[in-house]
Amino acid sequence: MGQVAFDTQEFVETLENAGLPKDQAKAISLVVRKSHEVADLATKRDLEDVRKDLSADIAEVKREIADVRKDLSAEIADVRKDLSAEIADVRKDLSAEIADVRKDMTAGFDKINDKFEKLGMQMTIRLGLMVAAAVSIIAAILKM
């Protein structure tokens, strides 16, 4: 902190001119000077220095915040890019798995259809044999 300017000689002369004895004027001057030495007063210059320091600190903090924002924006963009790539990979994998399931289901349905066709053929043959046997039996009965 700055020291308050105090001219003790001028102060003593002012008190003497006002009619105080020299000893009292010196004593008062000493007390006032000591009170100024003890007092921790800020001068306008001190305040201006603090204001300048704070302005510089605030500017530095603002620069650091801007840098952090820039870094965070870049990191967020990277994360978004990575997530988009991972989502695309998952979609691709799911599409491939769905295609495989469809293929397996189609193959299974084809097998079932083949079995139904064979079963239908077998039923038709058996029905035909039964009709032929019935016709033979009826023909044999009629010949009798």
pLDDT of residue 6: 65
pLDDT of residue 15: 85
- Categorise residue 19: left if φ over 0, alpha if ψ from -120 to 50, beta otherwise: left
Amino acid letter at 38?
V
In the chain (144 residues long), the average pLDDT of successive 10-residue segments reads 66 87 88 72 86 94 97 97 97 96 95 92 92 90 84
SS3 7: coil
Query: In angstroms, rounded to a whole number, what is the distance separating the alpha carbons of residues 57 and 68?
Result: 16
